[in-house]
A and B are shown apart, each in its own frame.
Chain A
Amino acid sequence: MDDSTNTCRRSRRCDDGRRRGANTTRGVGGGVGDGTPRGLGAFGRFENASADARASSAVRAMLGEGASTVGRSTKKRARDGEDAAPDLDVDALIADAERDGLEDARVKNQEEYDDDADFDEEEVYARTGQEGGTSVVVDAADRANWVRKPLKKPLCDRSDALLFQQLDIDYVVDKPHETLGSRRGKGDAAVVRMFGVTNDGHSVCAHVHGFEPYFYASVPENFGEADCETFRRRLNEEVSSARKNAPGVFVIAVTLERKQSLMHYSEMKDRLFAKITMGLPNMVSAARGILEKGFSVPGIRDGSFTTYPTFESNIVYALRFMVDCGVVGGNWIELPAGDYKVRSKKVSHCQIEVDVSYDKIISHPAEGEYSKLAPFRILSVDIECAGRKGHFPDAKQDPVIQIATLVTEQGSDKPIIRAVWTLDTCAPIVGADVLSFKDERELLRNWGSFLRGCDPDLLIGYNIVNFDFPYLLDRAETLGVADFPYWGRMIGTKVRMRDTVFSSKAYGTHESKEISCEGRVQFDMLRAIQRDYKLSSYSLNAVSAHFLGEQKEDVHYSAISELQNGTPETRRRLAVYCLKDAYLPQRLLDKLMYMYNYIEMARVTGVPLNYLLTRGQSIKVMSQLLRKARQRNMLIPHMAKREGGNVQAEGGVAYEGATVLEAKSGYYEVPVATLDFASLYPSIMMAHNLCYSTLVPKHMVSKLNPEDVGTSPAGDTFVKANKVKGILPEILEELLGARKRAKADLKKATDPFVKAVLDGRQLALKISANSVYGFTGATVGQLPCLEISSSTTAYGRTMIDHTKKMVEERYTTMNGYAGNAEVIYGDTDSVMIKFNTPDLAEAMRLGEEAAVYVSDTFLKPIKLEFEKVYWPYLLISKKRYAGLLWTNTEKYDKMDTKGIETVRRDNCLLVRQVVETVLEKILKERDVQGAVKYVQNTIADLLMNKLDFSQLVITKGFTKEADSYGVKMAHIELAQRMRQRDPATAPVVGDRIAYVIIKAAKNAKAYEKSEDPIYALDNNLPIDTNHYLDHYLTKPLLRIFEPILHNAQSVLFHGEHTRRIAQPTPTAKAGGIMQFAKIRLSCIGCRAPISDEKLSKSLCKNCLKEEAMHLQRALASVNGLEEDFNRLWTQCQRCQGSLHQDVLCTSRDCPIFYRRKKVQKDLTEAAAQLKRFDW
C-alpha cells in the first residue's frame, strides 16, 4: 500500500461546520476535518480479497481511504442540482417537508461518519486481517477479465486527442483549478464531471472547469453599464444576509445583454437583460428569490423597491452546461490534444482522468460514426436474503446470503463475468465463479471491492433501486461494515441513499429510494418496464413470461432460508436461481433494446441518460426548448410555482380535452374504414404556428394586421408563421423531420445493429414530439401555457367534426356512390366511416380517396391518413370496441380491441379468456351462435365446478396503504385470517395476495368470502360460482352481446345450462356444519347411501348390475387427471432445470401453479374412489 503518495485531496475547512444543522440547503456535506489527509495509492486495481495478503491490503487500502476522507471531504455531490432543483422539475417533486426531515437525518448521519472516522486504524487492520483468514474463497477460474483492460500505452495529453462517449454528467463544488478554473470567484467553484468510456473500453473521468452558473433578470431600459456594479454589490449583500450574513462573493458579475423573452409575441426586437453570474450553482435560487420578491438598488429607479422577473433561473447547472456546450445525453466528446491535462494524482477509479476547460470541449452530434455506442460495462445484480418465517426480509436482522453478478460489455451477447458471492460454502457451478464466505461482513466487503475493480458504467437489475441496493446498504450499516458503501467512481465517496416521491401526470406517484452512485448510471429494469409497458403484473416472472416467453422458477423467501441452512448443494441450487435472476434483467435489456432506445432518447432530447428514468417528460421538452431559444437569442421566463398545489390536483388540465364523436354502437358486418390524423397534436401546432413566442396578448390583437394572425376555436390568437415562426413548431418540425429520415433509413438498413439504433431513434422522436403538447398543458409544470394546449385540442375537435361533415356530404348514393357513408365513431385522432359497401377492396379505395379529399382542406402538415379497415366491427360504446383489422385484402392483420376487459389485472383469468374467445368466435369465425354456445358451456362448466381452478384466482397487491384503509377489503381480510391460521406462511406487505370467492353463510359480506386458493382446494371449500357469474362475467359479456342479440340476458344467463350445479363436500376442517356430519359411503353411480358395505363399497345394489360401466366412468376421470398430472409436473421439473431435485417453485403468476395443485388433489381423490371398486 502506498501511503506516501498523497493523492487524497486536502479537505478544505470552510463554513460548513458552522452551517451544519442549521442550514436548510440540501446536500452540503461537511465535517470539521483537520486530520492529516491520508493519501492512498491508486486503488483502481481490483484485489481478489481472498485469504492472501493482497486481500487484506486491499481492504486496508479501502479502510484507510475511508477513514481519511469520510466525513472530511466537503465536496458536494450535486447531481440533481442546487436546492433549486425541485422547483425546476415538477415531475420529480420532492415534498419540502420531507426534504427538511431528510436533511436532519443526513446531518445526523454525517456526525456518525465522523465518529467512524475516528476509529483506530491499526485495530481495524488487525481485524480485517483475521477475517480475511476465515473467509473461504473457493478457487475460481482466471479472473483477468474482471478488471478493465489496461491502456496499451499511457495517454499523452500533448499528442493524443481523447475521444469518449459520456454517460453521466454531474458536478462538485471544489477549489477552482489552478490554470483552467475561473478566477473571478474568490471561493470554491463548480466543477463539472463527465464520466464515460472510450472506444477501446477504457473508463474516463473528465473534470471540466471554468463554467460559471448564471441566469438573467429583466431590467429597465435605462439600466446602464455603470449600474451593473452597484446592482451586483447590492444583490451580493442580500444574498449574504439571506445566508445568515455569511461573508464572501456570491454574485460574481452582472453584465448587460439584449435578448427577447420567449413568452408572447412582441413587435419589439429585443429588451435589456442583466446576466447575473453566481459563484456557485446553489446560490442561483437565493438570488432569484431576492430579485423576484424585489429589493432596492441605489441609482435604479431612484433607489425604490423594484421587482425583477428572472429568466432561466431554474435550470439545473449540469443541464445549463450541456446546453451551452452543445452536449447531449450519451454523445461523444472529444478533447483535442494539447487542450486538456492528464491528472497524475487521480481522485477517481477511472482509468483515464483529465482536466479540461469547458470551452475546449468538442461535442460531436450523434451522427455517422458518432452514433455508435462505446463498449461500456453493464453490471446486473440480484441478491438473496434469508428472511425469518412470516416476515419479509429486514436488513436490520436478516443476512444477505447471496449476491449474483453478471457483467456484460455493450455490443456483445455473452457476459464476461458470471459470479456469485455466497454466505457459507456452495458447491461449484459450471460456467460461473463461486466465492464463498463464512462471514457476511467479508462477503459484503469483497463484493464492494469487486464492484470498484470491475468498474461498471451501468448498474442494472430488477427493482434494485428499491430493494437490492437499499438492502445491501442498510445491511452493511447494521453490521458496521464501514468500508462497504463505496460504489461510486470517486475514491472515498460514499453512496448516499434517501427517500423520494416521484410524481408525474404520465407515470403517477411513486415513493422510491434514490441512491447516489457517482459516475455509474443506475438502470432499474422494473422502473423502465413500468414506464414503457402496460402489463397486468410487473413481477419478474410475469415480465419474463411476457417478453422472453418463459416462466421463471419462483422460490418463496421462506424456502430460501431452508436452502441456505442445508448443504453446499442446496446453497448451490439457490445460487443457480440467483444467477438466473441476475441474468434476466440483462436479457430484458437486450430484448427490449433498451440501451439503443434510451441513449437515442437522451441524444434527441439532450438530457443525461439518468434523467430518463428518474424524471418525467417535461425536463426533456425543457432541454430542447432551452437549446432552441438560445439559438434565437431568446430567454425562457421563470414562472413562480403556484402555491398550495397538492399532488392530487397536479397536472389537472383545466380546459376542455379532446372530445369524441358519439359512438353509434352496434355490430357492423360491413367494412368500416378508419382515417387517422398522423401526429395530430404536433401537426396542429405546426400548422397553426402555436407557440409561446407567437401567442398574441389579448390587448395586442387589435393592433395587428388580421392577415398576420390566426385565432383558434378556443379564442386565442397566434401570429402566423410568415410573420415569425414559433419555436415549438420548429422543435416539432425537427423532431418529425428527423423521425421521417430515421424511418426512411430504417427501411434501407440491413444491419440489425443499425436497424436497432434507427428504430430506437424514430420511437424516441415520436414520443418526444407528442410530449410537447403535454408540456404546455401541465398546469404545475415549468412553463404552462393553456392558450396553446386548449387551442390545440380545440382545433382537433373542429377537425373531427369537419371531417365527418365532408365525408357524409360527399359519399352518398345521390353522388353516385354505392351507399350513404356514415361516420359511426370518432376518437381523438381518428374517424371511423361505414361506407355502406360490403366489399373490402372498395371500402379501402374509398377510405384512401376520402383521406386525400379531406386532407386537402387542412393546413399543412395536418394530414388525414387511411390506415386500416375494421371488418367486422363491434362498437360497444365510446373507447370500447373490437374488430378484425385489415390493411390488405388478402388476410386480416389481427384482432384489435380497445377498452374491453382483457387485460385488467384485478380480473380473474376466466373473464379474460371468455371475453377473448367470444370475440374471436364473433369476429374471426363470424359465429355468433358458436359464441353463445361457448358462453353457455362455460357457464355450465363453472356451475358444475369443472373449470380450471386457476382461472378463478384473483390477485391483489398487499400494500401498506391498503392495510391502513378503514374499508374492509377481501384480500386484506384474508391476509388477517391467514395470519391467524399460520403466521409463518401468511402474506406480508409487499406480497401479492391470491384468493378465490367461496360460498359462505347467507348474507356474508363480500370481503368475508375470500379464501386462500390452496386452503380452499385442501378443504374442498365450494366456490361461489354465482358470485363469479354475477360480478365478473355478466357485465362484460352483456356489453359484447347486447349490440348483437336482442335478448342477450336471457339467452346467456338463464336457461338449461344454468340448471345443473355441483359442489364438493367440504372437509370437517373447514368448519361449519361439516364438523358434525358423519360421512357415509354413497353409491358412486346414483349417490344413494350404500346400505350393504359388505356387498360393495362402491355401488348400491341397483347400480351393481352395471358395475363395468360405472367403473369405466370412474376410470375416465382418473385417466384425464393422470395425463394432466403428468404434463403439469414434468413441466415444473423442466422449468426448474433439474430432474433429481424437488420442485420448490411457488410462482403464483404461473398459469399452472394452482392447476398442478388441484390435479394432485383430484387425482388422489379419484384414485381413492377407484379403490372402492375393490381392485
Chain B
Amino acid sequence: MACAVERARGTRDGSTTNEKYALTGRVDHGQYYQLYYNRLMALKPRAVASARARWPNAPVRGVLELKEHEPCVVVGTVYKEMKDKPIILDEYVKDFEREVYEAKRIERGNYCREDDRLEFEDEGARVRVLGVDAGRFVTGVVCAFKGRATSKGEFEVEDAAVFAPARGGEDAVTTADGDAKYVCLVSGLELGGRGSSAENLARNQMFVDYVTGASVMDSDAASDCDAAHICQVVVAGGTLNVNAPSLDDSTASAAASAAAVKELDLMFTEIASAVPVDVMSGKSDPTNKAMPQQPLHPVYFTEATRFEKTMRLATNPHEFSVDNISFLGTSGQNVDDVLTFSTIGADDVSSSFSGDDAAKPAVAALSQTLRWQHVAPSAPDTLACYPFKDRDPFVIDTIPRVYFAGCQEAFGADRVAHERGETLVVSVPRFSTTGCVVLIDVRTLECRVTRLA
C-alpha cells in the first residue's frame, strides 16, 4: 500500500486560470454599470443564439423596438424589484415598527415576497415583465424571453426563459482504467473559531494525517486506501475565523488569532509537504470581503509557503484543472446569496442528486448559476463585488467539468446536463461542523463524501 501512496501523491497535471479574478495595478473604485454592461455584452450573443434555436420564427427585438402585440424575443438583464430587499437608505429611517419587521425578516432568512416583480433591461431600455415567476430569478441574470408587448407597455412572457448555452469544456474521456486519482475538497476548517475547539483540533489532525497518508499505516480500510490516491487538496474557503484585531483589542485576542494562524500554517506545512494543496479565500478569511476575493497573504503561512510547488494560495472563485479536468469553485457566497434572494430550493435538484437532503438547496442554487452561465449574478446587487471596468470575470466562459461551492451545510452532488455534456455540481460541507471531506475521482468524475470521526 505504501508504494501506491508514493506513486499517486504529488503528481497531478494542474494549472489555474485565475488571472481574471486578480485585482492588479491601481485598484480604482468607479461605478457598477460597466460590469453589468460587460456581462450583457458577453452573454447576450450566446443567449440570442439559444433563442434563435428555440424560437426560430420569432424576431429578436431590442426593448426600444418592441411593437405592441408582436410575438418576439427580447434578450437582456433581469432586475428584480423586491419590497423587502434591505437597502442602505433604511438606515436613515428610524421607525420602531420597521425594526420589528426587519427582525422578523432576518429571522426568515429569505427576502422574497409574492409581489416581487421582474424588470428586464437591455442596453437600450427597461420593460416590466409579466408571466414569469420572479422567485426563480435574481437580479443580474442574463436571459432571453419570448412573448409580446402589451398595450400598457409591459412584456408578457409566453415561454420559459432561455439562457446562454454552455461553451468550451473538453469532453475528456472518463475511464475507470488504472488507479483512482482523487481531488479532495474540504472547506470551513475555521481555525480561531469553531475549528479551534479541543475536539476539532484533534479532528483537524486526523484530516492532515488522512490526506498526507500518515493514517494509512497498517490499516487497509477502504477509505484510507482512497486517501492514498489523493493528488490534490482544495480548501474551499473558511480556513480561518478570526476577528480582525482592532486598536482597542486586548492582547489576549490578538494572541489567540496569532495562535490560530500559526496552527494553520503548521497544518498546511504538513499537507504541502506531501500533496499539492490550493487554499481559497472565503467569507471569514482575513482577506478582502468583496468578490472576487484575493488570495490570502503569504505572511500568514511563512512555513507552508516554502513549499512553492505544492502550496498555492488561490482566489475565490478558483478556476483550475487537474489532469485536464476543469474545476470551477467558490467558497459559497454566490450560493448563499441566490438562496437569500430567490425561491430556488430543495425541490429543484434533479433525480441524480446524491448526498444529504440538507444540501439540496445549495446544489439547486449552484446548478442554477451554471445554467445562467454566471458564477454570481446577484453581484453587485446584493453580493458585494469589485466594480470591474473592462470585464465581468464571473461569466462562465468555459463550462467546467466540476463546479463546487464550499462552506455549505452538508454534502450533496448532482449532475447537470448541458450543451457540452455534463457537469458535476458539488456542495462542499463545512469541516468544522461535519468532519466531512469530498473526494472526486478525476478519471470517472465519481464523487463521494468521507467522514473523519
Chain A interfacial positions (CB closer than 8 Å to B): 141, 427-432, 551, 569, 572, 576, 916, 1107-1109, 1111-1113, 1115-1116, 1118-1119, 1122-1134, 1137-1143, 1151-1152, 1160, 1163-1164, 1167-1168, 1170-1171, 1173, 1175
Contact = CB atoms under 8 A, between A and B. Distances in A.
Given A430-B149, A1164-B28, A916 B94 contact: yes
**Residue from the set B94, B151, B245 with the largest chain A CB neighbour count within 10 Å:** B245
Contacts of B89: 551, 1131, 1151-1152
28 contacts: A141-B151, A428-B125, A430-B125, A430-B127, A432-B153, A569-B64, A916-B94, A1108-B261, A1108-B297, A1109-B245, A1109-B258, A1112-B244, A1113-B245, A1119-B289, A1122-B289, A1123-B289, A1123-B290, A1125-B384, A1130-B380, A1131-B89, A1137-B126, A1138-B126, A1139-B140, A1140-B33, A1140-B36, A1140-B40, A1143-B33, A1151-B92
A426 to B, nearest CB: 10
A1118 B290 CA distance: 10
A94 B226 CA distance: 97
A87 B79 CA distance: 60
Nearest to B78: A1139
A139 B69 CA distance: 16
A1138 B37 CA distance: 11
Contacts of B70: none
Contacts of A916: 94
A1119 B126 CA distance: 33
Given A1140-B40, A1160-B29, A1126 B125 contact: no
Contact of A1116 (B29, B153, B244): B244
B300 interface: yes
Contacts of A1151: 89, 92
Contact of A1141 (B33, B88, B152): B33
B19 to A, nearest CB: 15
B297 A1111 contact: yes
**Residue from the set B37, B40, B290 with the largest chain A CB neighbour count within 10 Å:** B290
A1142 B30 CA distance: 10
Contacts of B152: 431
B393 interface: no
Contacts of A1143: 31, 33
Given A430-B66, A1126-B385, 19 more contacts: A429-B125, A429-B153, A430-B127, A916-B94, A1108-B258, A1112-B242, A1112-B244, A1112-B245, A1115-B286, A1115-B288, A1119-B244, A1125-B384, A1130-B382, A1131-B87, A1132-B31, A1133-B33, A1134-B79, A1139-B79, A1140-B121
Given A428-B64, A1112-B242, A1112-B245, A1122 B77 contact: no
Given A1129-B32, A1142-B33, A1152-B89, A1167 B384 contact: no
Interface string B233-266: 0000000001011110000001001100100000
Contacts of B94: 916
**Residue from the set A429, A1123, A1131, A1140 with the largest chain B CB neighbour count within 10 Å:** A1140
A429 B26 CA distance: 39
Contacts of A576: 125
The 7 closest A-B pairs by CB, nearest first: A431-B153, A430-B153, A1116-B244, A1126-B384, A1167-B27, A1122-B290, A1139-B36
A1137 B128 CA distance: 12
Interface of B: 23, 26-33, 36-37, 40, 63-66, 68, 77, 79, 87-89, 92, 94, 121-127, 139-140, 149, 151-154, 242, 244-247, 254, 257-258, 261, 286-290, 294, 297, 299-300, 380-385, 387
A1132 B387 CA distance: 14
Contacts of B88: 1124, 1127-1128, 1131, 1152
Contact of B64 (A427, A1107, A1128): A427
Nearest to B121: A1139
A1139 B286 contact: no
B181 to A, nearest CB: 33
B258 A1115 contact: no
Contacts of B153: 429-432
B290 A1116 contact: no
Contacts of A1119: 244, 288-289
A1108 B299 contact: yes
Contacts of A1170: 288
A1140 B77 CA distance: 9
Contacts of A1160: 29-30
A1167 B68 CA distance: 50
B254 A1109 contact: yes
A143 to B, nearest CB: 13
A1171 B384 contact: no
Nearest to B242: A1112
B244 A1122 contact: no
B226 to A, nearest CB: 35
A1138 B121 contact: yes
A926 to B, nearest CB: 16
B29 A1115 contact: no
Nearest to A1115: B286
A1173 B261 CA distance: 18
Contacts of B140: 1139
Contacts of B92: 1151
Contact of B125 (A572, A1108, A1129, A1132): A572
**Residue from the set A1109, A1137, A1164 with the largest chain B CB neighbour count within 10 Å:** A1109
A543 to B, nearest CB: 16
A427 B125 contact: yes
A1129 B31 contact: yes
Contacts of A1171: 27
A873 B364 CA distance: 56
Contacts of B258: 1108-1109
A1123 B380 CA distance: 10
Contact of A1175 (B33, B64, B294, B387): B294
B36 A1111 contact: no
A1111 B245 CA distance: 10
Nearest to B127: A430
Contact of B63 (A430, A1129, A1173): A430
B98 to A, nearest CB: 11
Nearest to A1128: B88
A432 B23 CA distance: 43
A432 B127 CA distance: 12
Nearest to A1152: B88
**Residue from the set B27, B29, B92, B153 with the largest chain A CB neighbour count within 10 Å:** B29
Nearest to A430: B153
Contacts of B384: 1122-1123, 1125-1127
Given A427-B124, A1113-B245, A1151-B89, A1133 B32 contact: yes
B294 A1130 contact: no
Contacts of B242: 1112
B289 A1130 contact: no
Contacts of B29: 1125, 1160, 1163-1164, 1167
Nearest to B386: A1122
Contacts of A1142: 31, 33
Contacts of B32: 1129-1130, 1133, 1139
A1140 B34 CA distance: 7
Contacts of B387: 1129
Contacts of B380: 1126, 1129-1130, 1133
Contacts of B122: 1140
**Residue from the set A431, A1108, A1138, A1152 with the largest chain B CB neighbour count within 10 Å:** A1108
B290 A1126 contact: yes
A1171 B47 CA distance: 39
Contact of A1122 (B26, B31, B154, B288): B288
Contacts of B247: 1113
A1123 B33 CA distance: 17
**Residue from the set B92, B122, B123 with the largest chain A CB neighbour count within 10 Å:** B92
A1142 B290 CA distance: 21
A455 to B, nearest CB: 24
